[in-house]
Amino acid sequence: MVRTFVAVYIPDRLVREAANYQEYLKKLDTGVRWVRQENLHITLKFLGDVDASRISELNYALKAALSSETSFSASLEGCGTFPQTRSPRTVWLGLAQGASRLIRLASRVDTAISGLGFQRELRSFKPHVTIGRVKSTRGISALLDTMHMHPFDGGKFSVDTVYLMKSQLTEAGAEYSILETFNLRG
């Protein structure tokens, strides 16, 4: 079995800016486990454990679904939590420009692989980069206030590639590797 997801990566420049923002937020005493910077990405669809023999049919379906998609600009800005209450589980950076195109990509991916028997996503897709997972509510009010007063603004980047990814869970955390690359038309 291969733990699998479909993702868009953000460029190294924005990864560094996101990591700097994490460092800024880490100064607060919170119960957040921060995502390692090499794991920062936009998940379009999490597939979970997939039989290795099905990877080639996933590649084929994704290639067909994404073949007509063109590259576009997006901007990584804003921040928040899911759910947006005083007991959040996820800390994220948002997407402004390009969000509707990312929603479309996620929908195309979801539709393509549902034809292979994978369950469709029931929740509406909200493009974001997860930067932390809340393990306890310690310091959450201060975190939310700080994020509200100092929102993230990383700037624009080009979305030109979608990846089928493998996630291997280790003691040090998840390690990601690329299974397949899908280039969007230029």
Q: Which of 41, 45, 101, 108 is catalytic?
A: 41
Q: Active-site residue 148, yes or no? A: no
Q: Which of 45, 54, 108, 128 is catalytic?
A: 128
**Please, is 78 exposed, middle or buried when counting C-beta atoms within 10 Å of its C-beta (0-12, 13-18, 19+)?**
middle
Which structural domain range is residue 171 located in?
A: 2-183
At 95, which CATH number? 3.90.1140.10
Alpha helices in the chain (DSSP H): 12-26, 55-66, 99-114, 140-149
* pLDDT tens-digit profile, the chain (186 residues): 889 999 999 999 999 999 999 999 999 999 999 999 999 999 999 999 999 999 999 999 999 999 999 999 999 999 999 887 767 999 999 999 999 999 999 999 999 999 888 989 888 899 999 999 999 989 999 999 999 999 999 999 999 999 999 998 877 778 899 999 999 987
Please give the tally of structural domains in the chain. Answer: 1
